[in-house]
Amino acid sequence: MGLLKEFKDFAMRGNVIDLAVGVIIGGAFGKIIASLVADVIMPPIGLLVGGVNFTDLKWEMKAAEIVDGVEKAAVTMNYGNFLQVTFDFLIVAFCIFLFVKGINKLNKKKEEAPAPAAPPAPSKEELLLAEIRDLLKAKK
């Protein structure tokens, strides 16, 4: 039973739960950015480079052939898909960088917010006058 309790304590610590939430949100954020790249950013880039769809780019190393009535697929190196995934990664990494930078900026503003200022310490004259006042009250 000790091992089960230790695991429960480990799993319920704040850091593990925060990490799990971060992974889930990161996965959802990754899907949004992947859609942004595939559906919004890459079509204009493809149009600028002559209507090329990057995922369709490939180098055919061996053509498809029919052997004994069975078609063997062509051997291709799909470098276009690699380019697409690389663009996806770079854009996702840049978006996460901007997101973290924005969060850090907000946290910095919170830290820089001035704390309520303590009243200034009384000057030497004020201390002397207060002492005189207290002595006069004591003589009455």
Domains of the chain: 2-139 (1.10.1200.120)
| Alpha carbon distance 40, 9 (integer Å) | 45
| Alpha carbon distance 22, 104 (integer Å) | 16
Residue with tokens 């004591």: 138
Least confident of 2-11, 23-32, 99-108: 2-11
Q: Is the pTM of this model over 0.85?
A: no
| Alpha carbon distance 29, 96 (integer Å) | 9
| Tokens matching residue 68 | 């004994």
| Cβ neighbours of 32 (radius 10 Å) | 11
Give the model's confidence band at 140: pLDDT under 50 very low, under 70 low, under 90 confident, else very high. Answer: low
| Tokens matching residue 33 | 């950015």
Least confident of 9-18, 19-28, 38-47, 71-80: 9-18
